[in-house]
Amino acid sequence: MKQITYMFLFAVLVTACTSVKQIGKINMISTRNVDPNLKYEVISTYSGGSKRELKKSKSTSIEDAIDQTVKKVPGGEFLMNCKIYLINSKYIAVEGDVWGNPKQQSFRGFKVGDKVTWKNQALLNGTKFLTGTISALKDDKTCYVKVDNEIDKIVELSYDDITKSDN
């Protein structure tokens, strides 16, 4: 019985491991034209480099890996101080500092300062719509919204759950 348990444990460990190998370092990389007249700033550091992000990478080319890392950060234009990884000898991931123009940050049509509305999911007895103002764009999936009529209450919401309002 012990041998079966050990064989099962060994099989699980071997199949659960992810092989991550660094294959290069690059000072600056971009898939878009960079305007030398703009004042770019660091928006996010070490983007795409967490173990979770590396394991999730399904990019089969360096270009796709760059785009995937840059597009996660609203306002991102290019990467500096990059590391390129080969995942499971099949996929490519890129880690680096995302640079861009933070004054023009927008994602999916939303930008800081936009008035938005959303359904309050906490209510069980019906639907109530709440309103607020976007205070920060977190990543490619969520943003932070300051709730109207509540002092210092900020919630994280998905872009799919909010709608621009005219108020």
Q: Report pLDDT for 143.
A: 86
pLDDT band for position 66 (cuts 50, 70, 90): very high
- Parse the chain into domains and list their residue ranges: 18-104, 115-164
Paired tokens of 58: 């399904």
User: 104 with 86: CB under 8 angstroms?
Assistant: no
Q: Report pLDDT for 97.
A: 93
pLDDT band for position 104 (cuts 50, 70, 90): low
Q: Which residues contact 135 (CB under 8 A, 6 or more apart)?
A: 112, 144, 145, 146, 154
- For 111-140, the DSSP string reads -TT-EEEEE-TT-SSS--EEEEEEEEE-SS
pLDDT (average), residues 42-68: 87
Of 107, 96, 102, the C-alpha closest to 40 is: 102
Rounded to whole angstroms, the Cα distance separating 92 from 20 reads: 9
**Locus of tokens 């109207």:** 148
